[in-house]
Structure 1
Amino acid sequence: MPENQVILNVDDTEAVRYAKTHTLRVAGFKVEEAVNGAEALQKVAALQPSLVLLDVRMPDMSGIEVCRRIKVDFPTTMVLQVSASYISSADRVIGLESGADSYLAQPVEPAELIAAVRALLRIRSVEDQLRTVNQQLEDRVAERTRQLMEANQQLTHEIAEREKAQASLIQALKTEALGQLTGGIAHDFNNLLMIISSNLQLLGKRLGDDDRLRRYWAGAKEGTDRAVTLTQRLLTFARRQELKIESVGIPELLAGVRSLIERSVGPMNEVVVDVAPDVRLAAIDRNQLELALLNLSVNARDAMPDNGRLTIAARNARPPKGSSLADRDYVHLSVTDTGTGMDAQTLARATEPFFSTKAPEKGTGLGLAMVRGFLEQLGGGLVLTSARGEGTTAHLWLPVATTQQDAAEVTEPEAPAARPLSILFVDDEQLLVMVGADMLESNGHQVTPAGSGAEALELLQSKGRFDLLITDHAMPGMTGAELAEKARAISPEIRVVVASGFQDIPGEGDANWLRLRKPYLESDLIDLINQIYAR
């Protein structure tokens, strides 16, 4: 018999109790005794025996009541009731219904008592094994359920991440498609502005002193200049604008643009500039960053109808973990207002192109998209944080300049006028060819026009030497860069100017290969030619 199996023998008659205890101990059982019902209940609680041998008739509490209480508190304990007084079948039924597992009438033969005890303990052992197996099964089911719940949570998370990635991809594709469309429109618009601007420049030379005509001309020129600015914003959004990247000191830039920002936000709004003394130089396009700060300042002004405070701060920092930005040093420029703020839905769409909460006549929805496109083109980024009633902060992450040279602007000496040149002028827009030729010829140069790359190559092969090739870049059939390569294969000494509003033009960096941003002024074109031949 296992050592941990204890039998509690309960009987108020000492001789009978001794006889049963002696019989069981001789058979190898570990037996404890109790003389009445109260002591029996105490020892059951303390010893938790495997089986209770329980007399039915006791002076303080009947064995029937003791059995009921044992089965309530310790349902796995086996109870064998014995009685010399209650031995009828009705008595047996009452005992078994009280919860007893078996019932014996006294006097009982020792062999029968031992057999009955062993039978009940075997049942108890089997029940214990079943309970153990059931508990193991329940534990395994619980563990498997936990694993399935974790797998389901992981799957749910992956589905959410996939949906988020798909939404981001769809948005990126939409933005890319819109960017391509915007870039194409901006290119065509640039050509139209180039035609208008160039003709205005030529017309301005011949207006004379008529004040009214001068006023009309100035109005047309101002409108053209504003259209040029809008085109540059479109190109910035499309990330196709040519950027003039240089090392810029942020404290100096903010000092220079502060007065303009203060005028933009109005005298009732406070402007605070907080720049760390050790802030590093940033590799940026100065003009574009100034324009971005003005855009953000105007947005802040509109968000503070009851007046507030605009804070511009600059620090050296690394982007937070989980950011889409590269883990490297940046100049962190923040623009914070105390305005109305944005709810989560508006914040999620704030940098979408053409999305605006302003009235149609108050905004185009390109401001934040332009800032984001400009920063991403630089290798930085724009992050907005906002909450309704708590204002908005625009976080501008600016790439750090790789060399910390002096950021002060260097004024180049004016180049001397070039000698009269033989120039091949190429553009698929005939009006641009005409006005470009007029500009150049009015400055003493000889111009041969061409409407395509193929026509230009034929002229190079048939007419011989040209000093300079000026070509548009985005042309059907052959780009300006491709034309330049083929032209230099025919005439290695020819110098090249590629005119375009786009940024990425192959071949730039060659001493005889220069860029001219569209739309350009006559003075820009002539100055560039003079610089080429001043070398």
Structure 2
Amino acid sequence: MTRVQSTNAAAHGQGVRLSLIVGFLLLVCAAVAAIVVAVTSADAERWATHSLEVRRLQAVTFSALQDAETAQRGYLLTGDHAYLEPYEQANARLPGLKRQMHALVADNSAQRQRLVDLEQAIDIKMAELDRTVAQARAGQADAAIARLKTNAGKAMMDRVRVLSQRFEDAEANLLIQRQAAVASQRSLLIGVIVLALAAAALLAFAVARETRDHAHVLTGHNRALENEIAQRERAEAQLRQAQKMEALGQLTGGVAHDFNNMLAIIVGNLDMLIRRLSGQEKLLSLAENALSGANRAAALTKGLLAFSRQQPLDPKPTDVNKCVSDMSELLRRSLGEHIAVETVLAGGLWRAFVDSPQLESAILNLAVNARDAMAEARPGGAKNGGRLTIETSNAFLDRAYADTHAEVEPGQFVLVAITDTGGGMPPEVMERAFDPFFTTKRLGEGTGLGLSQVHGFLKQSRGHIKLYSELGVGTTVKLYLPRDTLGVTVEEPAAPRQIVASGDAFTVLIAEDDPGVRGFAVSAARELGYKVIEADGATVALERLGQHPEIDLLLTDVVMPGSNGRQLVDAALTLRPDLKVIYMTGYTRNAIVHNGTLDAGTRLLTKPFTLEQLDRELRDALAGQ
């Protein structure tokens, strides 16, 4: 028996030693492989950086040429030599930039040929600029300007722009390939590191079996691993939820864009029709019913955009206490006398940086939901009482809280807590509370977009929303609004004006690719008394702008095939810096909205819109308000 035990012990010892040797060899192999992969990854990253530098130099070169052209035009038009400074700088910089570009693309024959073509076009353009500047300096400004008006220079610049874009596209493709190589190398490096960790774990396990005294350490490691797995499962669940919401957001955003274009035609034309049906009560009633349905569809589309975080927000420093106070009376009337509305407003409350109308809409949405929940909690839905409490306070979300809640950044917030005395929500309902079109109400009593719309607004505003609910007690919804740190004073909005024909003093250029929307916008603007010139895209709009110097204002769609509204405006303002601009859109796609916020100084008319809204925007833009 002793001999058998000895033999088993010896075999066990040999097995442990063999495990140690194998584990050590694996660790050495993994370390060598990691070094090789790290070197390869560094080389791939160097090539990716090389492509980025090529693209940067190409952009600088094109920008220098544009500056030279702008300087030439300014000098020819004014005769002021101060305008020639960018032109002279471009003349000085371009040779060096060309040399650098040649050095960078020396390894790529296709890019070298594209660069040669581009440089030839740039040289031709610069020669044209030199010729006209020389003529102006020699006192032949009229001849130079006449040459400028032939549009030969524009054709040369267009040629440069095409070749530059071709060069840029090729380098962008190279960058994508090189970045993919970097990602592949990094993935391989991670795999090697994982292998190294596995080898190290094998060594640790063998040592642990060899030394029984370390058993309690292994137990602690196992517990830590279990905790990590649990945390990872929670993180993966949050990631899956975020991916689901993102996918739904992209879908609803695309649908909202097309739907808003159709609604713009329906709502706009119904609005104009109603104005012409005075005294025809039967027809007027039919048109008003149709407009009411279209407006409900527009509200639904607005809810979809809010959920998908693609509504254009205009955040400003907001006194939340004043906002809640102003809404309290509206809520009392809207919710009914059987609901007691109480407000608990904190002293010294910070100002929030949010879109105030959207915040009011969110509070109203939550209040209506609370009213319905309190009615459902009563037998048969009887309206026999309930309490809605709205509280405000300053709040701070720390790093520990942010680590356990996706998309939450730690920091200071203004808290609005809305509490009802309804029946509360079970866990399975709370899990789906923010899903679009999910509702526990009966058919026809709600769209299921209320909470998802509030959720989208808070996330787009870089805030946070948290639900607390207990069955039989009630529900609290906490809105964490980002604190305003700018301290800018916001002026009160002006009172709305009545529609009055503007006469023919102003000319409006309307750029819209959708024929139906364009037809309505043109008809509406003409009814308001404006002279109207229309264009079905950016290219035609720029042509019209050049042909009609009397144009005072550009009304353009944001999303158009080819050049979008932002690109059209940039080009138009280059020709006419004094031009007034209004965008119209049903979905922005980040052309004029970044990080969920309208670009500074941007005027936006959201589709669908009425004659009154168009009139207000046109007047305000022309008045410079």
Q: TM-score range by the shorter chain?
A: 0.5 to 0.7
**Is contact 2:346-2:393 (8 Å) kept?**
yes
**Comparing both structures, which one devotes a greater share of its residues to strand?**
1
Aligned-partner Cα distance in 1 for 2:320–2:508: 42
**Is contact 1:418-1:530 (8 Å) kept?**
no
Aligned-partner Cα distance in 2 for 1:534–1:178: 41
2:592 matched residue in structure 1: 506
1:288 matched residue in structure 2: 358
After superposition, the C-alpha distances for 1:237-278 in whole angstroms (9 at most, x for unaligned) are: 111112232232223222222233234443333222111122
Matched, 1:451 2:536: yes
**Is contact 1:428-1:452 (8 Å) kept?**
yes
**Is contact 1:249-1:407 (8 Å) kept?**
no
1:171 matched residue in structure 2: 241
2:621 matched residue in structure 1: 532
* Equivalences for residues 220-259 of structure 1 within 5 A: 220-259=290-329
DSSP-derived class of the 1:322 partner: helix
Aligned-partner Cα distance in 1 for 2:430–2:307: 18
Match of 2:387 among 309, 321, 329: 309
Aligned-partner Cα distance in 2 for 1:398–1:159: 33
1:477 matched residue in structure 2: 562
How far is the alpha carbon of 1:345 from its aligned partner? 2.5
Aligned-partner Cα distance in 2 for 1:357–1:492: 54
Match of 2:417 among 316, 325, 334: 334
How far is the alpha carbon of 1:413 from its aligned partner? 8.8
**Is contact 1:271-1:311 (8 Å) kept?**
yes
Aligned-partner Cα distance in 2 for 1:413–1:363: 31
**Is contact 1:465-1:491 (8 Å) kept?**
no
Aligned-partner Cα distance in 1 for 2:421–2:506: 59
DSSP-derived class of the 1:316 partner: strand
Aligned-partner Cα distance in 2 for 1:518–1:445: 20
**Is contact 2:503-2:529 (8 Å) kept?**
no
**Is contact 1:418-1:533 (8 Å) kept?**
no
**Is contact 2:582-2:621 (8 Å) kept?**
no
Aligned-partner Cα distance in 1 for 2:496–2:284: 32
Matched, 1:180 2:259: no
Q: Judging changes above 3 Å, is the alpha-carbon distance between structure 1 residues 281 and 138 closer, same or farther for their aligned structure 2 residues?
A: closer
After superposition, the C-alpha distances for 1:267-317 in whole angstroms (9 at most, x for unaligned) are: 333222111122222222222222211221222222223243221111111
Q: Judging changes above 3 Å, is the alpha-carbon distance between structure 1 residues 410 and 264 closer, same or farther for their aligned structure 2 residues?
A: closer
**TM-score (structure 2 length as normaliser):** 0.59
**TM-score (structure 1 length as normaliser):** 0.68
Aligned-partner Cα distance in 2 for 1:150–1:385: 35
**Is contact 1:424-1:469 (8 Å) kept?**
yes
1:381 matched residue in structure 2: 464
After superposition, the C-alpha distances for 1:480-534 in whole angstroms (9 at most, x for unaligned) are: 11121223334444332211244644397676x6322222222222222222332
After superposition, the C-alpha distances for 1:395-421 in whole angstroms (9 at most, x for unaligned) are: 100122234566673426969947533
Q: Which amino acid aligns with 1:529?
A: L
DSSP-derived class of the 2:603 partner: strand
CA RMSD in angstroms comes to 2.8
1:521 matched residue in structure 2: 610
Unpaired runs of 5+ in structure 2?
A: 1-207, 379-384
DSSP-derived class of the 2:533 partner: strand
Q: Which amino acid aligns with 1:270?
A: A
| Number of equivalent positions | 397
- Tell me which moved more, 488-497 or 314-323: 488-497
Q: Which amino acid aligns with 1:396?
A: L
Aligned-partner Cα distance in 1 for 2:347–2:338: 28
- Tell me which moved more, 158-167 or 477-486: 158-167
Q: Which amino acid aligns with 2:592?
A: P
Aligned-partner Cα distance in 2 for 1:473–1:395: 35
**Is contact 2:468-2:476 (8 Å) kept?**
yes
Aligned-partner Cα distance in 2 for 1:167–1:196: 42
Aligned-partner Cα distance in 2 for 1:148–1:509: 56
Q: Which amino acid aligns with 1:290?
A: E
Q: Which amino acid aligns with 1:421?
A: F
**Comparing both structures, which one devotes a greater share of its residues to helix?**
2
1:123 matched residue in structure 2: none
Q: Which amino acid aligns with 2:396?
A: R
Aligned-partner Cα distance in 1 for 2:214–2:480: 47
Q: Which amino acid aligns with 1:365?
A: G
1:194 matched residue in structure 2: 264
1:347 matched residue in structure 2: 430
**Is contact 2:553-2:622 (8 Å) kept?**
no
Q: Which amino acid aligns with 1:150?
A: G
DSSP-derived class of the 1:329 partner: strand
Match of 2:571 among 471, 475, 486: 486
Q: Judging changes above 3 Å, is the alpha-carbon distance between structure 1 residues 291 and 493 closer, same or farther for their aligned structure 2 residues?
A: closer
2:228 matched residue in structure 1: 158
After superposition, the C-alpha distances for 1:52-74 in whole angstroms (9 at most, x for unaligned) are: xxxxxxxxxxxxxxxxxxxxxxx
After superposition, the C-alpha distances for 1:461-494 in whole angstroms (9 at most, x for unaligned) are: 5666633221110122221111212233344443
Matched, 1:442 2:527: yes
2:454 matched residue in structure 1: 371
2:401 matched residue in structure 1: 322
Unpaired runs of 5+ in structure 1?
A: 1-136
DSSP-derived class of the 1:339 partner: coil
Aligned-partner Cα distance in 1 for 2:548–2:347: 62
Larger RCO: Structure 1 or Structure 2 (Cα < 8 Å, ≥ 6 residues apart)? 2
Aligned-partner Cα distance in 2 for 1:184–1:262: 37
2:168 matched residue in structure 1: none
After superposition, the C-alpha distances for 1:175-208 in whole angstroms (9 at most, x for unaligned) are: 1111111111112221122111211222122113
- Tell me which moved more, 270-279 or 255-264: 255-264
Q: Judging changes above 3 Å, is the alpha-carbon distance between structure 1 residues 413 and 354 closer, same or farther for their aligned structure 2 residues?
A: closer
Aligned-partner Cα distance in 1 for 2:483–2:571: 38
Q: Which amino acid aligns with 1:314?
A: T
DSSP-derived class of the 1:532 partner: helix
Aligned-partner Cα distance in 2 for 1:138–1:165: 33
Q: Which amino acid aligns with 1:524?
A: Q
